[in-house]
Structure formats: C-alpha cells, structure tokens
Structure 1
Amino acid sequence: MSMTPPPGWYPDPNQPAVERWWDGSAWTEHRRTPEHPQVAPVRQGFGPPDPAASAVIAPASSGGGRAKIIALATAGAVLVAAIVTGVVVLGKDDGEPRGGAAPSTSAEASPTPTASESKSASPTSDPNVLVDDLNGITLPVIDGWEKAEDTVHDAPTLQTPDTFDCPGDSGMCRHGRVTSQTVTSTDETSPKALARGDIADAAKSVYGKDVLDNEYYGRITGHEKVAEGTVAVAGRSGYYVRWRVRTEKASGGYVQSVAFKSSIGSEPMVIVRLSVNVAKGAPPLSDLERIIKGIRSTDDSATGGGVGEDVGATP
C-alpha cells in the first residue's frame, strides 16, 4: 500500500539542521529552527542515501594485508551500491518534486517523525484551540464557535455551528467564519498595506459569488469602513480593517482583515479573515475582538494578543 507523509514539519533534506513544511504533496518555502535539534542522523526516505553516511572504515590493525583488502572491498561495494541507488532514484520522473525534496511513495520509505515532529504534524486534541501549524499560530475556540472539519483549500477555519437556508441562491449558510492563511500573492510586508489590500477580497469571499457563481446573499450592494488601526496579534504588531457590508438579500454583516508577521521559521506574513452576519441568531461583533485577542504563537503559548479598538481607529 503506497502512502505519502502527512502535512507537517520535517528536517529539510537540503539543510538537516532546519525543519521545513511538507504540505502533504510538496515542500513549501516555510522553514524554522527546530526546538530540539537532532544530534544523530535520521532516516528520512526523502531521496537517495548519502554515500558518505555508508562509508566503511578499515581496521587500523590486525589481519594483515588480507584484512585491509577485505575492508576496502566492502567499503567499495557499499559506495557503489549507494551511488547506483541514487542514480536510479534521481533518474525517475514520476511528477514528484525534484531535487530530492519529494518523499518516497512506499510505506517503508516514509519518514518516521520524531516526537517533536509528530506533535507539529498532528492537530491538537484540545477542543478549545485551533492550531495553524503552517503559520505558527493558534486561535481560540470561544463559546458559540467550533472548528470546521471540511474547509476550502484546507485553510484552518472557525465557524458558528448552526446552519440556515441562504437568503439568496440555494445553499446552507452560517452566521460567522474565521480563517487564517499565508500571504503568497505578494512580497508586501507592511501589515497596514496587506490588511487594506485584502479587505475587499475578504468581503467577496463571504458575501460575493462563489466559484460556481452562486450568490448566497444576493449581490453586494455596498460597504462602509467602520474601523481601522494597529493591533497586537500573538505578540506581533499588526493592522486591521473592518467593513460593514450590505447585500441584496438579508442584512449583510461585518468583515474584518487582520495582517501580521508570524514568529516562526521564515516569519511569513499572515492574514486572518473574520466575519459575522447582522441577523437574529448571529454572534455578537465583540466575538471578533475576543478571537483576535486570543491568538497565540505556537512556540510561546503565553504570548498575548490585542484588540483593535483598544488601540484606536485610524482614518
């Protein structure tokens, strides 16, 4: 039975002292320094064996010339076998990532993560915390919210548990949603610029057309900015923008984009999108503040957050 390793942090095949994020099918550019570096080499199964690691050292004494010849012959055989294996593995073109970065598809060749790696690769069992390993943050699951099991593009998501018939096109809607994602479409590193640039897309992702042109709330008829400013998120300086969105069907709701820099690995920029409807049964707007305030870094659970309104809005 063939299988690939699950998403998680594994030793980088090109830099063993650094951990790199494997998304389940390919290596990403996210790297971090492991909390407990490994001293002994670990069998990864991510490419050909290293010939140097298989070298056999001949005994310094005893056995005379015949013993030396046997030792050298053994070392030579091991070296040749390693080189042949490397050529065969590198010569295969089966669509996997190149450069030795792709894990083997056989169960025997799959990596065996260490205890720390297993912890990073597996979701937390704490029902009160949603872990985003890729971006190095955790989000609080406050009262009236739950972790989403099936999400678009596997983005870590919080949602309100109850569903209702969408007021526009046929479908099931929810009153609130929160997602986190890495910024990949731009090299911009200013939280202010990122939050301002993302808010329109955040509004469309909730109240606009989906990929099948469904408009669950009818079309967006307008919006107004109701708040904007600096905010502390997981101990990092960030920026938020909040819109009140109006829709053709129903009353629309509030959408918020929060941008900040992660504290792990290559410190990628992160966007957290939050939304709540304006409707009976919807969570209070203050829930968005509570969730942002409760975001923590995965490498420091004691790190505090902050609420945008506590900092003050900016024109």
Structure 2
Amino acid sequence: MTPPGWHADPGHSGKGPDQERWWDGAQWTGHVRPSPAAVRRRGIRIGVGVTVGAVVLAAIGGGMYLLREDDGGRPGIAVASPSAPPPAPEGSGAPDGGNGNEGDKDGDDGSQGPGEQLPPTEPGYATDLAAGISLPVPKGWTGKSAAVGAGLTTGEHACPGGADKTCVRGGIFSAPAVALKLTAGTAEEAAKKDIAVNAEESYGGDSYGKITSHEEIRSGAVTVAGQKGYAVRWKVVTEKGDDGYVESLVFPSPASKDMLVVVRSGFDINKAAPKLSVLDEIVKGIKAASGAGAGNGGAA
C-alpha cells in the first residue's frame, strides 16, 4: 500500500516542469508541487524583499527593499497570475494580510508554471508548497504564499540609499535549499554557509551600502516543525542607514526528509522595526503545511 506523501503525479501530461501530487493514503488530492528536481533547475535566489507593483516575492540582491515594476526583471519567487488563479481546495481560506495573488508569469524564475497551482491557504499562514511548510503571519504583517517560496514583510519605508526604492523593517522568506543552489551535507553546514549570502542580499548593495562589519550573536541547534535544524544569527553594520540583524535557519522539510529548507530573516535595528522576539515567535510557529505531513518518510 502506498503511504501518504508526495509522489510523482500520475496525471502529469509531460508539458511543463515535472511535478508531484499528494496521495492521502486512499486517493490523489488536488495538491501539486514542483518536483525537487524541477525546483533545483530553477535556481532561485532569495533576499528579504518583495515587489510593490507586481506583488511578487522577490529574490533580490540588496535584499531588504521593495522593487517596483520599472526596476527591471530580476529573478523572484512569484505567485500566480491574477488572470487565471487555480481554484483553492474546499475549506481553505486566505491568510492574514490577504492573498494578493498577482505576479510574474515566467515559470523559470520560481513563478507558477504549467500544471502547478498555488498552495492551499490557511488563515494566518503563508505557505511554501515546495518546502512543505507554513509560516505564521503576525498581526500587521503581510504574508504571501507560492508554489516555491513564502514570505512575510512589515514596515515599508524609503530606503536609505535612495527614495526610488521602498524598504521594509522586517522580512522573512523561505525556499528549498536546492532552489537556492545551496549545497551542504547538514543543516548546520548549510546555515553557516548561507548566513554571509543572506547578509549581503539583505543589507548590501545600493539600498544600504556595503556591510562594514558583522558580529555573530547566536549559533546553534533548533527544532522547527518537528525537525532538527540549525540557525545562525548576525548583527551587521551598514554603510548607509540602519544596521540590522540577519538569520539563516536550515532544517529538513517535514514533507520530504531528503530536502533541506532555508528560512532567511532580516530585521532593521530601529525603534520602528519589530523586536527580535517576534522573529523567535515566528520560528516557533512554523509548521508542516496543511495536507503535507510526513510525506516521503518525513517526521510524523
């Protein structure tokens, strides 16, 4: 008997990227996601940012800012086009902050491709379908779900490097490690490797200037969504504007034991920014996505 979990989609037409479908132990459900191999081929990058005009969860260099449509076609984690959104499963609801499912149509940058659909929405959560996790959306924050990646942002303001871009006071984004081309044997190795990239993409570049120094303020094991992972947190000093805290958290997907998930965070050091305790509460609240429990041998 085939156990519940993500398996190759028996109804896939062969058009578009390979995908998996959720088997609940008795029947195939309407939940589909890109296969790990398809995610790996996409090779997206994530920093702490989202676009305003297209409402696309952006994977951007110079990280904690909000791109507008005329800033150019940078790669990103996109949600579905509003012209033909897939139907949500029965009983699902929009997460806090609204679903806002507008976005890029290029399937190669992490957006919805042929045969894919948005993850089932849960009230108060943003879901990363490929990673098999849902992030809790705090009150006052905006959460976005996607087939590959999920994100939370709060506190829009003019970037210190120029008023042509809008920054956020806090941002948290997730994606499978393979989508980031992050290769490491363990969660600890991956987190230690990713933190420098996260810092540069979140606080380097034109919006904040170069990072002049950093200090590691936390590094250690952590349990997330029932999985044993590892987190590294830095305080970074920037050339322009506010300094910030960045964290790279890596843990096995609760839906696929062979897939590592990366959660990147960035918080300004400013009285208007959320406190680090909010980040800790969000991490504690990360859970397996609804309908994507212990698939393919993941934790029960």
Q: Work out whether the TM-score is over 0.5.
A: yes
- Does 2:159 correspond to 1:163? no
Which of 276, 286, 290 lines up with 2:281 in the alignment? 290
Task: Name the aligned partner's letter for residue 198 of structure 1.
Answer: D
Deviation at 1:168, TM superposition (A): 1.1
CA distance in 1, matches of 2:243, 2:88: 47
For residues 228 and 36 of structure 1, do their structure 2 counterparts lie closer, same or farther at Cα, with a shift above 3 Å needed?
A: same
Match of 1:263 in 2: 254
- Alpha-carbon contact 1:228-1:242 (below 8 Å) kept: yes
CA distance in 2, matches of 1:198, 1:300: 29
Match of 1:235 in 2: 226
Secondary structure of the corresponding residue to residue 171 of structure 1:
strand
Deviation at 1:199, TM superposition (A): 0.2
- Alpha-carbon contact 2:88-2:121 (below 8 Å) kept: no
Deviation at 1:122, TM superposition (A): 3.7
For residues 266 and 37 of structure 1, do their structure 2 counterparts lie closer, same or farther at Cα, with a shift above 3 Å needed?
A: farther
- Alpha-carbon contact 1:233-1:292 (below 8 Å) kept: yes
The superposition leaves residues 221-271 of structure 1 with CA deviations (integer Å, 9 ceiling, x where unpaired) of: 111100011000000000000000110112211000000001214641010
- Does 2:124 correspond to 1:128? yes
TM, length-normalised to structure 2: 0.59
For residues 10 and 136 of structure 1, do their structure 2 counterparts lie closer, same or farther at Cα, with a shift above 3 Å needed?
A: closer
Task: Name the aligned partner's letter for residue 205 of structure 1.
Answer: E
Match of 2:168 in 1: 174
Q: CA RMSD in A?
A: 3.7
For residues 113 and 261 of structure 1, do their structure 2 counterparts lie closer, same or farther at Cα, with a shift above 3 Å needed?
A: same
Identity of aligned residues (%): 33
Task: Name the aligned partner's letter for residue 35 of structure 1.
Answer: D
CA distance in 2, matches of 1:239, 1:187: 15
For residues 266 and 230 of structure 1, do their structure 2 counterparts lie closer, same or farther at Cα, with a shift above 3 Å needed?
A: closer
Match of 2:212 in 1: 221
The superposition leaves residues 87-133 of structure 1 with CA deviations (integer Å, 9 ceiling, x where unpaired) of: xxxxxxxxxxxxxxxxxxxxxxxxx99969x9994444444111111
- Alpha-carbon contact 1:251-1:279 (below 8 Å) kept: yes
Deviation at 1:220, TM superposition (A): 1.1
Match of 1:204 in 2: 200
- Does 2:184 correspond to 1:188? yes
> Which range moves more in the overlay, 140-149 or 269-278?
140-149
Give the gaps of 5 or more residues in structure 1.
1-8, 43-111, 210-214, 304-315
Deviation at 1:187, TM superposition (A): 4.4
- Does 2:50 correspond to 1:35? no
The superposition leaves residues 188-219 of structure 1 with CA deviations (integer Å, 9 ceiling, x where unpaired) of: 2311100000000111111112xxxxx10122
The superposition leaves residues 42-95 of structure 1 with CA deviations (integer Å, 9 ceiling, x where unpaired) of: 9xxxxxxxxxxxxxxxxxxxxxxxxxxxxxxxxxxxxxxxxxxxxxxxxxxxxx
- Alpha-carbon contact 2:160-2:208 (below 8 Å) kept: yes
Secondary structure of the corresponding residue to residue 287 of structure 1:
helix
Q: Which has the higher helix share?
A: 1
CA distance in 2, matches of 1:276, 1:188: 26
Task: Name the aligned partner's letter for residue 175 of structure 1.
Answer: R
CA distance in 1, matches of 2:265, 2:172: 4
Task: Name the aligned partner's letter for residue 237 of structure 2.
Answer: R
CA distance in 1, matches of 2:17, 2:136: 29
Aligned residues: 207
- Alpha-carbon contact 1:32-1:265 (below 8 Å) kept: no
Match of 1:252 in 2: 243
CA distance in 2, matches of 1:260, 1:219: 29
Task: Name the aligned partner's letter for residue 220 of structure 2.
Answer: G
CA distance in 1, matches of 2:293, 2:255: 15
